[in-house]
Amino acid sequence: MTSHAERELERRLFHLQALHDISREIAPLQDIAQILRVAAMTLAGVLGASTAAALSRSADIATVQVHFSLGLDRDWHRNLGEPSFTEETFFSASLDTPFGTQLRQAQIEIWMGFQLDEGLALGLGLGPRLAATPYGEEDRQLLETIRLMVRQALINAQLYETQRRTNVDLQRTNQKLAAEVQDRTEALSAAYQALSDTDEGERFIGESATMRQVYIQLEQVAPTDLTALIQGETGTGKSLIARILHQLSPRRDKPFVHVNCGSLPPNLVESELFGHEKGAFTGAASRRIGKVELARDGTLFLDEIGDMPHEAQVKLLRLLEERTFERVGGSTTLTSQARIIAATNRDLEREVSAGHFRQDLYFRLRVFPLHLPPLRQRPEDIPLLAQSAVETFSRRLNRSTPIIAPAAVDFLCQCTWPGNVRELEHLLQRAVLVCRSGRIEVRDIDAAPSPRAEQIPTSDFTSLAESEKRHIQRALEQTNWVVFGERGAARLLDINPQTLRYRIKKHGLVRSS
């Protein structure tokens, strides 16, 4: 082989090696500036360029930025004017444009451009060769091959950068949300703590899906001034929820005034709520400040609202609508900024239908209704509730806390609990007292309500058809045999009136004289 042939072979092998080198060098890079630097160095090395440079121009920064320069003055690119970043590799000598002229003036002989997403334009240029031979078409083709490899690396880097920014945004959002959750959790814990401090052992316990829904609603309504209506069976914790609502609200440092409307004699309800002036009625020896005034800008909790006498309902409606009231026997109109929370174990809608409760007041109260599920609908909470109750009562009795035998826990979970959490707590209070050897067994809770399976006495067991007949009969009697309309039996039973008519006929029900 002649020395010229050997040299040519060596050159071609070097070029092949250069393709391998650049793919290895830039493949792992995720930064556009790094890729440009390595590409410019490789291009200069493979073709022996005396100078090399890498430029970019982004859509938001109009000026050209230099990423890399080899063997060039610092300000060489300032004479370039407006560079062209078209997707190609070309000789500056073949470019008959102002940009071509500028490249030649800067002694850039080969130029390659890249157009990426988001308006990002990049360019790589090479100056004269160190060797005596000028660039040829074969060199340009090699550079075009390298350009395509570099282009793919740049696209990948841009995608990586976009992904990275998205991840950063997501992380920030995530941190922000986590902080919010933390704040809310702390607020909730503080509220629970405050409650525990004032009323030992009384905490709301429950991890069931139904209770989580209640907690979400609590968080939604607590920071507002909205009137809330808490509904639920006896013993479900309505009073506790009202106090938690107050503790979670911005009014937590203001008064919380609890009025049990059901325990007040009807003739004293108005005086209790709104106060009275001296001599307003027999026995009113002095002025009395009512609960509404005592609540000031805090929270007024009206428990057992369904038991409120009709006359008081009228005054309460005015308080809700106009925020004004007068003391009994007084003529001065007073204002109140108290937030109203009401609670009842009655079906107020039914009470309204029956004419026992004002519809307008009902609508005013149920701005934000909260329904507390009965314990039988969240049996998964019973072990937690039982454990908490046992700990509380043991502490009060100054005893070590007994464990609850698994069989006893199973037994508790099977009960129907008509008295709900309150009933469970009373039962366990007794169990803590009577249990032996630090262990509560089923025998210690034998006074518990009958488990579900045993609750329906077989002697009274009736067929489904008979039950339906009796149920319809009851509804018809309650509605005075009116089937259609708002106050009709079909509405009461929540079925189609035509269906009801069919079933009345089917069961042979007739109105007695």
Residues that bind other proteins (CB under 8 A): 7, 10-11, 14, 17-18, 21-22, 24-26, 28-29, 34, 37-38, 40-52, 70-71, 129-132
d(CA 488, CA 470): 17
Residue type, 183: D
Ranges assigned E (strand) in 116-153: 121-126
Q: Dihedral of CA 426/432/436/439: which sign?
A: positive
Q: Using CA atoms, how far apart are residues 316 and 325, in angstroms rounded to an integer? A: 8
Q: Please give the backbone phi and psi of residue 231, each rounded to the nearest 5 degrees, phi first.
A: -120, 145
Nearer to other proteins, 10 or 180 (CB): 10
Q: How far is the CB of 27 from other proteins (least distance, A)?
A: 9
Choose between 49 and 245: whose C-beta lies nearer to other proteins: 49
Q: How far is the CB of 15 from other proteins (least distance, A)?
A: 9
Nearer to other proteins, 130 or 289 (CB): 130
**By C-beta, is 35 or 435 nearer to other proteins?**
35
As measured in angstroms, the least distance from the Cβ of 14 to other proteins is 6
Closest distance to other proteins from the beta carbon of 41 (Å): 4
Integer Cα distance of 28 and 482 in angstroms: 82
Identify the three-state secondary structure at position 451. Answer: strand
Q: Indicate the residue among 52 and 338 with the shorter CB distance to other proteins.
A: 52
> Which helix or strand (DSSP H or E) is residue 13 part of?
helix 3-26
Residue in the block written with tokens 């900024």? 337
- 46, amino acid identity: V
Q: Tell me the closest approach of the beta carbon of residue 173 to other proteins, in angstroms.
A: 32
| In contact, 249 and 363? CB cutoff 8 Å | no
Smallest distance from the beta carbon of 53 to other proteins, in angstroms?
12
Closer by beta carbon to other proteins, 124 or else 385? 124
Dump strand ranges (E) for 139-183.
none
- Residue 344 pairs in a beta bridge with 231
Q: Closer to other proteins at the Cβ: 42 or 299?
A: 42
Beta carbons within 8 Å of 88's beta carbon, 6+ residues apart: 112, 113, 144
**Minimum CB–partner distance for residue 39 and other proteins (Å):** 9
